[in-house]
Each structure stands twice: as C-alpha cells, then as structure tokens.
Amino acid sequence: MAIFEGAGVALVTPFTDSGEVNFSKLSELLEEQIAGGTDAIISCGTTGESSTMTHEEHIQVVRYTCEVVNGRIPVIAGTGSNCTREAVHLSVEAQKAGADGLLLVTPYYNKATQKGLIAHYKAIAQAVDIPVLLYHIPGRTGVTMTPETMVTLCREVPNIVGVKEASGNFSSIATMMQMADGCIDLYSGNDDQVVPLLAMGGKGVISVLSNVAPRQTHDMCRAFFEGDVKKSLKLQLQAVPLISQLFCEVNPIPVKAAMNLMGKNVGPMRMPLTEMEPAHKEALAKAMREYGIL
C-alpha cells in the first residue's frame, strides 16, 4: 500500500524575521494544509530549506510536525544527505520523532556511481522500519539514477517503496515503470508534470504548488483517480502559468514570496538564498491574481 495517494505538500519552513524556526506559524500552515485537502505533509525537504538547518532544528521540525498532524495524514520527513552516515542518523531520529515515511534525495556533490547509490540507499533503509521514497532530481544534485538502479532498490529492499521523480525525463520514467512492473510507487516532483506521470501509473505529486493552492492540487489528482481525466488536465493546464512563476527563481524563493503576498507571513529565506527580484515578484503576483489566489 502506498504511503499516500494524491497531493503531498513539500512544505516551507516558516522563519521569524531573525531567522529562527517559527513553530506557531508552522502549526497554522499545517492546519491550513489539512483543511485544504492535502494528502500528506513532506517536512524538511528542499522547499523546507533543510540544507540550512542544524540537525537539531531538522528533527525538532519533524517532531513538531508529527505532533500537530497527529496521524490525520501521513508525514514524510526529508532526511537525505551526501553523507550516508548523516542520512542514517537523520532517518533514525525522524522515525523516533514519529514520521510515517522518509524522502531521501540522491547524495549530491560526491557523484556516486550506481553501485554507490545502491549501497547508500540500502544502508539507510536497513536502519529504519518505515517506508522510504527515493528522490531523483539530477538538476539540483548532479546525480542521475538509472531506471535499473531505482527498480533494483525497490525490488531488493522491502521498505524502499517508491520514487519522487523530478528529472523531467519522460522516456527514462516510462522505462523505469515498464521495468518495475508495479513495484514502484511513482510521485511527480514537478508540478507542471503531474497528469503525465499519473498517466504512467503515478500515485500523486510531492508539490510546491500545494503551499499556495492545496485544494486545487488535491483535486487535480483526485479527478484523475476518479476517471475524470479531462477535469484533471484542465486543472493542470490552468496552473501552468503560476507554476512557471513559482520556479522563475530557485525554489523556495518564489513560493515563500507568494505565501507572504497572501499574508501568510512565513518570513525570509536563510542565506545563501535571498529575497526575490522585484520584477519577478511583480510577475508572480500577476500570475497569482490570474489564478485567483491573490
């Protein structure tokens, strides 16, 4: 059984003006997401700025998220690292904190071989008892996993159950799904490619868009699962201009700007990320108005 089906939000981490984690605001965001129909919370992923958190902050955010959500929907913790030992530590602690699953990005910078990737993921998965999703995003990590590697991991390791695919390489994804023959739970990692990946047998999306449009993103997936592909596609295409603006600068700069424009007051980014360029923010606000969320 899949960890979740539908739209999981890659949730931002709200910060105070002084740069500390804003836990009271995080609670508000979690309640808004659940009320908006979001099917899962992804805590401390790329969008959550995990790369600038201390290990202590990382686990505190996961633990607090699990406490607030309290089993209402699954919580998946981002615990990947380019250091296998560090990823094992974060994963074990996330399980102790109450996470229902883990999202593990490919180890960046080291540029491991396919053999190294298999060894890395096996070591982490074998240290925990909860389901694991691989996270394939070569554009940010510089590492490409082959379809063979992903299928091998999902076949040979019982708790490696699926992949968040953000490569944008439809041919490779189709090859993987053909080879997998049902052993991989596929999630889109790109908001503008949800419906195409659902058509390949996907279970849903891990979404940045859901931060600002949880109901619409949920409904896009739900309509597809209910057989209304025309409605699902309409929702996908309606969102494309906004999605484009949400990625006009590196994530999560635009989505945090969008949430602040909506009055959600999620605070600044941590350096080296900086505030959005004024011209880009103006284009983002225009897209939000046209989409009907501002």
Per-residue pLDDT for 111 more than 90? yes
CATH of the domain at 178: 3.20.20.70
Any domain includes 211: yes
Overall average pLDDT of the 89-112 stretch = 97
Domain that holds residue 64: 6-228
Per-residue pLDDT for 37 more than 90? yes
Any domain includes 250: no
* Residues involved in catalysis: 135, 164
Q: How confident is the model at residue 1 (pLDDT cuts 50, 70, 90)?
A: confident
Overall average pLDDT of the 78-107 stretch = 98
Any domain includes 168: yes
Q: How far apart are CA 50 and CA 65, in angstroms?
A: 14
Any domain includes 275: no
Give the whole-number percent of the chain exceeding pLDDT 90: 100
Any domain includes 147: yes
pTM, to two decimals: 0.97
Beta bridge partners of 119: none
- CB neighbour burial string for 243-255, b if at least 16 within 10 angstroms, e if fewer: bebbbbbebbbbb
In sequence order, which ranges of 98-246 are alpha helices (DSSP H)? 114-125, 138-141, 147-156, 170-180, 194-199, 214-225, 229-246
Any domain includes 20: yes
Q: How far apart are CA 72 and CA 67, in angstroms?
A: 10
How many domains is the chain partitioned into structurally? 1
Tell me the pLDDT of the chain averaged across its residues: 98
Any domain includes 110: yes
In sequence order, which ranges of 54-206 are alpha helices (DSSP H)? 55-69, 84-97, 114-125, 138-141, 147-156, 170-180, 194-199
Single-letter code of the amino acid located at 36 = G
* Residue 135 near residue 166 (C-beta atoms within 8 A): yes
Residues in CB range of 53: below 8 A, 6 or more apart: 13, 21, 44, 61
Any domain includes 16: yes
- The two tokens of residue 181 are 């023959």
